[in-house]
Structure 1
Amino acid sequence: MGNSANLSPLKNLRADVPAAVVVALVAMPLCLGVALASGAPLISGLIAGVVGGLLVPLFSRSHLAVSGPTPAIVATVLVAMQVLPSFSAFLLAVVIAGGIQIVLGIVRAGVVAYFFPSAVIQGILSAIGIIIILKQFPYAIGFDLGEFGGQDFISAHGENTFSGVIAALAHLEWGALLISVLTLSILITWDKVAVLRKQTWLSGPLMAVVFGTLLNALLLYAVPDLAVSGQNLVNLPIIHSFADLRGMLQMPDWGMIGSKSVWVTAVALTFIASLESLLSIEAADKLDTYKRRTPLDRELLGQGIANIASGLIGGLPVAAVIVRSTANVAAG
Structure 2
Amino acid sequence: MQSPTVSASPADTAAPSWKSDIVSGFLVFLIAMPLCLGIAMASGFPPVAGILTAVVGGVISTWLGSARLTIKGPAAGLIAIAIGAVQELGGGDMKLGYRRALAVIAVAAVVQILFAVLRSGKLGDFFPSSVVHGMLAAIGVIIFSKQVHTLLGVTPQSKAPFALLSEIPQSVTKANPEIALIGIVSLVLIFGHMLLSKKVAVLKRIPAPLLVLVAAVPLGLLFDLDHEHTFTWSQSAYTVGPNFLVNLPGNLLSAITFPDFSDVFSGVSLKYVAMFALVGSIESLLSAKAVDMLDPQKRRSDLDKDLLATGVGNLICGIFGGLPMISEIVRSSANINYGAKSKLSNFFHGLFLLLFVAFAPMLIHRIPLAALAAMLIFTGVRLASPSEFVKTFRIGAEQLVIFTFTLVVTLATDLLVGVAAGIALKTVVHLFNGAPLRSLFKPEIETHHADGRVVLRVKHAAVFTNYLTIKKHLLQQADAKYVELDLSHARLVDHTTMERLHELEHEFSQQGRHFRLLGLEQHRSLSEHPLSARKKPVDADLGLTN
Indicate whether the TM-score tops 0.5: yes
Residues 1:219 and 1:247: Cα distance change in structure 2 (over 3 Å): closer
The code of the aligned residue for 2:273 comes to A
1:107 is aligned to 2:118: yes
Aligned to 1:79: 84
Stretch deviating more after TM superposition (104-113 or 229-238): 229-238
Match runs of 1:261-276 below 5 Å: 261-276=268-283
Q: How many residues align?
A: 316
Contact 1:56 1:303 survives alignment (8 Å): yes
Q: What is the CA deviation profile of residues 113-143 of structure 1, one whole-angstrom value per residue up to 9, with x for unaligned ones?
A: 1122322222111111111111122221222
Find 1:42's aligned residue among 41, 47, 52.
47
Find 1:289's aligned residue among 296, 315, 319.
296
Question: Normalised by the size of structure 2, how large is the TM-score?
Answer: 0.54
The code of the aligned residue for 2:188 comes to S
Find 1:169's aligned residue among 163, 172, 175.
172
Aligned to 1:25: 30
Residues 1:9 and 1:92: Cα distance change in structure 2 (over 3 Å): farther
Q: What is the CA deviation profile of residues 34-86 of structure 1, one whole-angstrom value per residue up to 9, with x for unaligned ones?
A: 01111111121111111111222111100110110000111111111111132
Find 1:190's aligned residue among 188, 193, 205.
193
The code of the aligned residue for 1:31 comes to C
Aligned to 1:69: 74
Stretch deviating more after TM superposition (180-189 or 212-221): 212-221
Residues 1:290 and 1:28: Cα distance change in structure 2 (over 3 Å): same
Identity of aligned residues (%): 30
Match runs of 1:1-332 below 5 Å: 4-7=9-12, 11-85=16-90, 86=96, 87-145=98-156, 148=158, 150=159, 152-153=160-161, 160-191=163-194, 192-193=196-197, 197-198=201-202, 201-220=205-224, 225=231, 229-240=240-251, 245-332=252-339
Contact 2:44 2:86 survives alignment (8 Å): yes
Stretch deviating more after TM superposition (171-180 or 95-104): 171-180
Stretch deviating more after TM superposition (69-78 or 206-215): 206-215
Contact 1:65 1:281 survives alignment (8 Å): yes
Contact 1:22 1:200 survives alignment (8 Å): no
Distance 1:11 1:319 in 2: 24
Higher-RCO chain (CA-CA 8 Å, sequence separation at least 6): 1
Q: What is the CA deviation profile of residues 180-238 of structure 1, one whole-angstrom value per residue up to 9, with x for unaligned ones?
A: 222122222314425754455521122222222223334449xx948983154223313
Residues 1:196 and 1:113: Cα distance change in structure 2 (over 3 Å): same
Contact 1:175 1:228 survives alignment (8 Å): no
- Unpaired runs of 5+ residues, structure 2, are 1-7, 91-95, 340-546
- Whose strand fraction is larger, Structure 1's or Structure 2's? 2
- Whose helix fraction is larger, Structure 1's or Structure 2's? 1
Q: Indicate the SS of the match to 1:67.
A: strand
Q: Indicate the SS of the match to 2:327.
A: strand
* Aligned-residue offset at 1:7: 4.6
Contact 1:216 1:228 survives alignment (8 Å): no
Show structure 1 runs of 4+ deviating over 6 A: none
The code of the aligned residue for 2:44 comes to G
Quick check: which has more Rg, 1 or 2? 2
Contact 2:197 2:204 survives alignment (8 Å): no
Contact 1:250 1:313 survives alignment (8 Å): yes
The RMSD of aligned alpha carbons is 2.4
* Aligned-residue offset at 1:255: 2.6
The code of the aligned residue for 1:174 comes to P
